[in-house]
């Protein structure tokens, strides 16, 4: 039981970390790009 659950938890943990890093990069990207886009409009 424990052996079956552990890989799933690790996979889920990796997925969560990936989502966090992606959301962070997306947020920073929007913060940096939006002012530039605002200037063009």
C-alpha to C-alpha distance for 16 and 19, rounded to whole angstroms: 5
C-alpha to C-alpha distance for 23 and 40, rounded to whole angstroms: 25
pLDDT of residue 29 exceeding 90? no
pLDDT digits (tens, 9 = 90+) for 2-24: 666 777 888 989 999 999 999 99
Per-residue model confidence (pLDDT) at position 32: 85
End-to-end Cα, the chain, rounded Å: 58
Q: Which residue has the higher pLDDT, 39 or 32?
A: 32
Write down the pTM of the prediction. 0.53
C-alpha to C-alpha distance for 12 and 6, rounded to whole angstroms: 10
Query: Which tokens is 21 given?
Result: 């890093």
Radius of gyration of the chain (CA): 18
Per-residue model confidence (pLDDT) at position 36: 75
């Amino acid at each position: 039981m424990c052996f079956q659950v552990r890989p799933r938890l690790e996979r889920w943990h990796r997925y969560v970390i990936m989502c966090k890093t992606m959301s962070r990069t997306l947020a920073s990207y929007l913060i940096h790009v939006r002012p530039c886009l605002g200037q063009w409009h």
